[in-house]
Structure formats: structure tokens, C-alpha cells
Amino acid sequence: ANRTMDLVEQSAPLVNDLSSEAQQLSADWGRFMRREMGADGFRELAKRIELFLARSERDNVKLSGHLNDILLAQDYQDLTGQVIKRVTQLVTEVESNLLKLMLMASQVDRFAGIEHDHNVLRAEQEQQKEPSHGEGPQIHADKRDDVASNQDDVDDLLSSLGF
């Protein structure tokens, strides 16, 4: 997108200059056709037309190159978008298949005829659960042995862990 915008910004002045000069030449040509211009005016107009044609040819080559570069940049962006779309489709398909697999796995016991005593399973889960002990700022750190109380303790701990 940045490349495209840069090329358009480079092309706009070329087009504007060509357009304004063409309008001026058209007005002067109209004066010539209405016989409102003398020989010296016509010679000056002929020189300006010659310069305009040369400049038009040069700027046309630049504009053509800019348009080709814009086309290539947009093609690249389109290809990138296609790749992203395919990856998104793949992820969606994998997610759908994993969900199907999970649903099938949850019903294996039913298909195999295995029955579980849910009360026993719940009791086992309750026994395995331990209350969470949060680790945060230590209260009364100076009275406890298992708390680092200064930077030297922290450095010793880190060096004992290999850091």
C-alpha cells in the first residue's frame, strides 16, 4: 500500500503539469485558428508545442512505469491476501476437525459400553484439589527463612539456579 501511494504521489504532479500546459496550448491554438495571432506568436506557439510533445513523451514513459509498478504492487498484495485467506480456511478446518474429534472422544465410553461411577470420580477430583496459595508480596519477610530479604539473597538464589 505504501509503494502504491508513493507511486501515485509521484505521478500526480506529472499529470497535473501536462494537463495545465495542454489547456494553455489549446487556448493559444484556438487564438491561432481564429486568426488572432501573428507570425511571431505562431513561431512561439510552435516552439511550445514542440517542447510539450517532447515533455509529454518523457512523462508518458515515467507514468507508464509508475502504473506498471502499481499493478505489480497490487498483484503482490492480492497474492498475499490469497495466502492469508487460505491459511484462515486451513485453521478453520483444523478447528472444526478438532472439535469433531473431541466430541467423538467424549462419547467413546458410551459406544464401548463403559459406565463410570460419577460420584466416585467427583470425590477423587475433590481429593486432588489443593487450595491455591498465591505468591505475592511477602508479609513479615524479615521473620521468615524462606523469603529473600535483600539483593544478595536474590543473587545467591539466581546463581544457584545457574543464572
Q: Which residue segment(s) compose the domain that 46 sits in? A: 2-109
Is 75 inside any structural domain?
yes
**For the CA atoms of 26, 27, 33, 38, what is the dihedral angle to 10 degrees?**
-120
CB 157 within 8 A of CB 148: yes
Q: CATH number for the domain including 86?
A: 1.10.287.500
**For the chain, how many structural domains are there in total?**
1
CA distance linking residue 74 with residue 3, whole number of Å: 9
* Owner of C-alpha cell 518523457: 58
Q: What is the pTM of this model?
A: 0.43
Residue 79 lies in a domain: yes
Among residues 105, 109, 8, the alpha carbon closest in space to that of 62 is found at 8
In tens digits, the chain (163 residues) has pLDDT values of 777 888 888 888 888 888 899 999 999 989 888 888 888 888 998 999 999 999 999 998 899 888 888 888 777 666 677 777 888 888 888 888 888 888 888 777 777 777 777 788 788 877 776 666 666 666 676 677 777 667 887 788 788 887 7
